[in-house]
Structure 1
């Protein structure tokens, strides 16, 4: 048994207990209503069982506007199901097959009185104790006359079972709907015997006229991006939609001649392979690449083989150029199916081909840049970076040859000139890596970062000029920040090892007098200490704060040995927290190049800063942050914004305001800082980047004309993740979840030993902490009772689930690390540290969790947006040949869930097409009120020396200072005009009023007898004044968001998530 077969065995187990039947004429020793959980039609008028009435306060009707017989498919105890499909507007015959089963109760004296439903409640049974299935199958033909396609007709009626057809005409097709109805009368005392089970409807195209795939037309004709996605997914058409069920067809054929209903839909989503295909050839099957050594990091690190390496790199652009020409030739064939919209799609395809040519040219220019003898420093930095990444990869995967993926190398080449050259025109372009999850985006920008670090070192006139922060990287989630910190720390360690080797060999003796490369973790004070004094207290075990830690990572990023807090030491003289590796043979036994404490980061600015976006809100409060923007050293040259799609909505709006400050603080007379980003799920990226960063966008790799092939990645049909949908109408969502978790867990007992571990730890994803908490109770109670009740295969035991873990934002840093470590422990790997049975998570798991052994997941309810669904479900099945499986458990009481279920296959064939666009409105009225003042204060305190210190806010009254502040306000206003011209005047008015208030405030404090105005009072001084009940607005200008006193101070964010103040709601009754 391989992993693919193991996955099918799990699906069989779920299908057996949710739908059935085991065999066509099976005998079951339980009421079929209890034994099965979905795929049943009740008599018309049936009412929901009170024990299943758990609707989660949602409506029970999927579509309140539904009319006629399809209403019966949407009610709690559905009485109808069916499918709709499109037909060509020609005379034709369609074959129809429909089947169902009925269960006849009888007394079996040999049957045990054990009910599978006893896990839910104890039920006293009387009458039959066994049920035998009887199957029914009917067939007929449907004649469709193109001249008169509209109408309704009952085409089968017998014993209360009816099949009806509905035909209606649109501009481009005939819509055929087939509905199977249980039209029997509802008889309470005989209710279960009148249910029909496992109904299925199947349509077969006759007369060589296949079914017509649905293409979106007409409604968004002016939206180029809409038509781009229609082009990219032109093969992913919707051939049928379910009503009360889902629909299935075979997408592997050129034409679709059969569609059918299905109760548990499933769809394989193939993974994108970033590896260079060995059979990459032209139309004559001639290999296009002379060799693939240009991807070998060891080859690319040979500084003395410049001509040979440049020649190998040219092969990349030669082949890519030919690929672009071939795709351009295919446009007429690809677009022929778009009918009246063909011209529009051809235009979009042409634009996309031009984008490919633009990126081709940039890659070629990057190679020219390396080849130019004037850029010898860049060439050396390129080779040193390849040597660094190779060393880093060997530490993580010592058994594999270190190689670039082709898109990674291409991205480094096209971004290289604008990253190295401060005045390059492409500094105004954000280079966005768009690549499916797990494709290697991190390695791409780490390679670029390594190149920049060595370039700055090679071009520095003095050691001081080589120092300072070169790269700023921001994340939105704590877990992702820590995980990326670990990965980047490995690269920094490798860079130091490579530097030491080149000093020893005499190739670069200048490296010896330069400071070591370092990396700093820049997160909130609740996670890591702000001051060395606090760090000392934590190391000594003082205090009761278990959230804050000096050791956010548990293992050495270089040798993977354990790190221990008690081995950490603090040097008061150099203001350093030293974290040694516990391995005496490790290169970093005397201390890792990682900085954890804010005070240390300000004293010794790290080469790379890995932080959260929220931390940069402290620019208004902490003047020491200026060192991160080049105070006394070179300013940063690169900003990395990973997971760009997460910078959206309220958080994105506030972040985009602060980006104006960061852009200003990092620019020099030569130009702006370079920004690169990455994402796997984003729409309207060009507009998003303009509003967020005030930059143009260049997406890489460009898409070409098909989502399955962009040259830099192709769909790998041998690697996939299986998505499975469940929608248990009329059932309690909690009971359905309990059954599913139990069936998946028990199925693991039936797998071969070598396939058990990949599916052993079940991931359960929830949309809220409330839902997660309820599921934990189910796992403790309902699931074990259910597992005890189901029939077991001979010789098998009931699966126990003792190891349950939560992965949520409520965990502290140490707990997160421990859970991630435990998730990597395999079944039977460590008796003292058993593998996790079930991990329950919210959206924290969506990014940053990369555990190769996770392959089974339940997504409980459709997440609020498609990007979240893609990101979360991509946490399983990440390794090659892993065969991940994702069960989407839809809530039948939610219309949106029902819609996803009924269109399950079409959605999953192209779910990247359904990613919602992100939005930010940085200069809108609410955004200005929330944070625009903080942005001005941040720029002031980080750039004007006279206003930097805590007791300097009153210096705005000094000659010339106000003018400098007003110049900063003009900069913000100008940026607002570029980003959103409609808000420019309002932004100017706001800032003028702010400065006016600031001046008047300072004058009032001065007139009150104070020498100056504090931005913020020292904590002890503030405490004393509060004891005396003195008004703090006599002394300081700013107050934090958690201060609710009504005074003249300005409430200023300390986090970019401080965007929604609490609101009191009063319910007023009107008589």
Structure 2
């Protein structure tokens, strides 16, 4: 923080202040910028009068806080209409050339403040309080709404940019404002009447965050305050901090969702999970909803209704495990391969190779709930759930990827078991995962490749599946990351052998075997031009995907179009090119294949 912003200890610096500091600077006003002229009546819209809307009639200087070189910082706070004035402490630093420096590179800090000024709130209007040469405090006082007034305070660098010479002496560094209400406290800025104009999502947000205080908002800077029943002081900061409690995925009222137990066909724990969720809904309905009123109560009731519909979906999914033998078998297979994938993943993360050590593999409650929630829509083409797009939200590292990897495994196995498609093979693309960022796409590809390897090992143990099309995964990210065809892949591999950068994408996307953990080098990637296929063969001794076998991965576009992998992971730019690539129709069920049954947007 000190490197970016500096501190009061930076009394003398040996370089230009604008080169030393990059945060917390009020620049002089550009000669080409002009302020709105004339006096305008101050309205009731806090955002408009703060200059945060493009058609604001009056601008106290907030718009200059959003420029590349801002010349203002400010805040808008809510105060009760009984408050007569605000007390504002202003401080900032300037730097001047050190005339005693023989090398002419030194700069001396010239602090200003803290200076305390009072801002009157007795009348609606706006004004400016000169603080010193080059610095002023502007304010806007608005009329009350629901007993609360909105007040905007803006600290302005009034220096003009010099026509020549350095700008550093005309900048203010580390500006700050501390705003106090003597003997009182700040009030929530949100007008209650605004809720009547909110849509469903906004009403949900207002309900969920109703306990959060909206005392002030910053303009070009953040605003912070101490907690307590009454907040009498708010302050600006360029480095806001907030303690975010860690989310826990475990629950005491849900038994272990062990993958081995579930793979054996025992479904007592998912049933208990659903019952626990239903009990929680009842408790919120009976204890919490009765404390709400108005739109908050209506919104909370809608949430309860949606939660009960989710319970119904999970119940129907669980019911399919006892009524539909194919769904039950796919569910058991999902648990089997997910346990294998978990063991291999833990082994590779530890840097080990070979056979993995056994691990206790359990679903987190939200993961199993997500699988059950989507089960009916996944296996029943006539289900109304197919009109829904479910959002899976959990903090980073909480297990989102594992939840939809499980759903992917269930989907591709069930597709094979029921013999989807015109030829009854269940082949073709079953699942599409779409990502916006290529880096994230490659990271998820590594994890998903381990799952596909586990599915192949499972297929080896199932007599009725051994002769069917192998499960496989395809990477569809474009020439910037991977080659478009096998010839380009061969060219890229030859260049890697000569330590020359390739301009057609890099086919070496897996650096370790996702099954045994052995390191993969460009020598393990084989571009077979005659077969028009890029093969990746693990060098590990005894690996299921070594020797005459190869990893079930397709890394170039031509391979993906020709082999139509069970799972395709792609980026949005490839989907934007669908209309210009006729062969991409192979991925969407053209010919004998059934169309994809699951789309995951990451």
CA distance in 1, matches of 2:162, 2:554: 74
Q: 1:92·1:209 contact (CA, 8 Å) conserved in 2?
A: no
Alignment of 1:797-808 (within 5 A): none
Check if 1:351 corresponds to 2:302.
Answer: yes
Q: Which residue of 2 aligns with 1:360?
A: 311
What's the offset of the Cα at 1:89? 2.3
CA distance in 1, matches of 2:447, 2:485: 25
Q: Which residue of 2 aligns with 1:557?
A: 514
Q: Which residue of 2 aligns with 1:89?
A: 81
Alignment of 1:374-523 (within 5 A): 374-398=323-347, 401-435=360-394, 439-459=398-418, 465-469=424-428, 471-475=430-434, 479-500=439-460, 503=461, 508-522=462-476
Structure 1 length-normalised TM: 0.45
CA distance in 2, matches of 1:114, 1:453: 72
Cα distance 1:476–1:166, how it changes in 2: closer, same or farther (>3 A)?
closer
CA distance in 2, matches of 1:406, 1:556: 30
CA distance in 1, matches of 2:510, 2:228: 50
What's the offset of the Cα at 1:553? 3.6
Q: Secondary structure at the match of 1:169?
A: coil
Superposition RMSD on alpha carbons, in Å? Answer: 4.8
Q: Secondary structure at the match of 1:21?
A: coil
CA distance in 2, matches of 1:513, 1:266: 60
Check if 1:266 corresponds to 2:237.
Answer: no
Q: 2:259·2:361 contact (CA, 8 Å) conserved in 1?
A: yes
Cα distance 1:469–1:274, how it changes in 2: closer, same or farther (>3 A)?
farther
Q: Which residue of 2 aligns with 1:226?
A: 202
CA distance in 1, matches of 2:481, 2:108: 60
Cα distance 1:137–1:629, how it changes in 2: closer, same or farther (>3 A)?
closer
Unaligned stretches of 5+ residues in structure 1: 1-10, 51-60, 116-128, 281-286, 337-342, 644-1071
Q: Which residue of 1 aligns with 2:9?
A: 22
Q: Which residue of 2 aligns with 1:113?
A: 103
Q: Secondary structure at the match of 2:392?
A: strand
Q: 1:100·1:136 contact (CA, 8 Å) conserved in 2?
A: yes
What's the offset of the Cα at 1:410? 1.0
Q: 1:499·1:511 contact (CA, 8 Å) conserved in 2?
A: yes
Q: Which residue of 1 aligns with 2:537?
A: 580
Check if 1:313 corresponds to 2:303.
Answer: no
Q: Which residue of 1 aligns with 2:46?
A: none
- Tell me: higher relative CO, structure 1 or 2? Use CA pairs within 8 A at least 6 residues apart: 1
* Match for residue 108 of structure 2 among 127, 131, 140: 131
CA distance in 2, matches of 1:219, 1:88: 20
Partner deviation per Cα, 1:661-702 (whole Å, 9 max, x = no partner)? xxxxxxxxxxxxxxxxxxxxxxxxxxxxxxxxxxxxxxxxxx
Cα distance 1:101–1:323, how it changes in 2: closer, same or farther (>3 A)?
same
What's the offset of the Cα at 1:86? 1.3
Q: 1:468·1:630 contact (CA, 8 Å) conserved in 2?
A: no
What's the offset of the Cα at 1:416? 1.3
Q: 1:472·1:636 contact (CA, 8 Å) conserved in 2?
A: no
* Match for residue 3 of structure 2 among 1, 13, 19: 13
What's the offset of the Cα at 1:388? 0.8
Unaligned stretches of 5+ residues in structure 2: 33-50, 351-358
Q: Which residue of 1 aligns with 2:263?
A: 301
Partner deviation per Cα, 1:712-767 (whole Å, 9 max, x = no partner)? xxxxxxxxxxxxxxxxxxxxxxxxxxxxxxxxxxxxxxxxxxxxxxxxxxxxxxxx
Cα distance 1:174–1:570, how it changes in 2: closer, same or farther (>3 A)?
closer
CA distance in 1, matches of 2:502, 2:17: 55
What's the offset of the Cα at 1:468? 1.0
Cα distance 1:321–1:540, how it changes in 2: closer, same or farther (>3 A)?
same
What's the offset of the Cα at 1:95? 4.0
CA distance in 2, matches of 1:154, 1:596: 64
Cα distance 1:565–1:379, how it changes in 2: closer, same or farther (>3 A)?
same
What's the offset of the Cα at 1:30? 6.3
Cα distance 1:202–1:621, how it changes in 2: closer, same or farther (>3 A)?
closer
Structure 2 length-normalised TM: 0.75
What's the offset of the Cα at 1:139? 3.9
Q: Which residue of 2 aligns with 1:249?
A: 224
Q: Which residue of 1 aligns with 2:288?
A: 330
- Whichever structure has more helix as a proportion of its residues is 1
What's the offset of the Cα at 1:466? 4.2
Q: 1:72·1:79 contact (CA, 8 Å) conserved in 2?
A: no
Cα distance 1:175–1:131, how it changes in 2: closer, same or farther (>3 A)?
same
Q: 1:470·1:607 contact (CA, 8 Å) conserved in 2?
A: yes
CA distance in 2, matches of 1:81, 1:610: 45
Question: How many positions carry a matched residue from both structures?
Answer: 561
What's the offset of the Cα at 1:492? 0.9
Q: Secondary structure at the match of 1:273?
A: coil
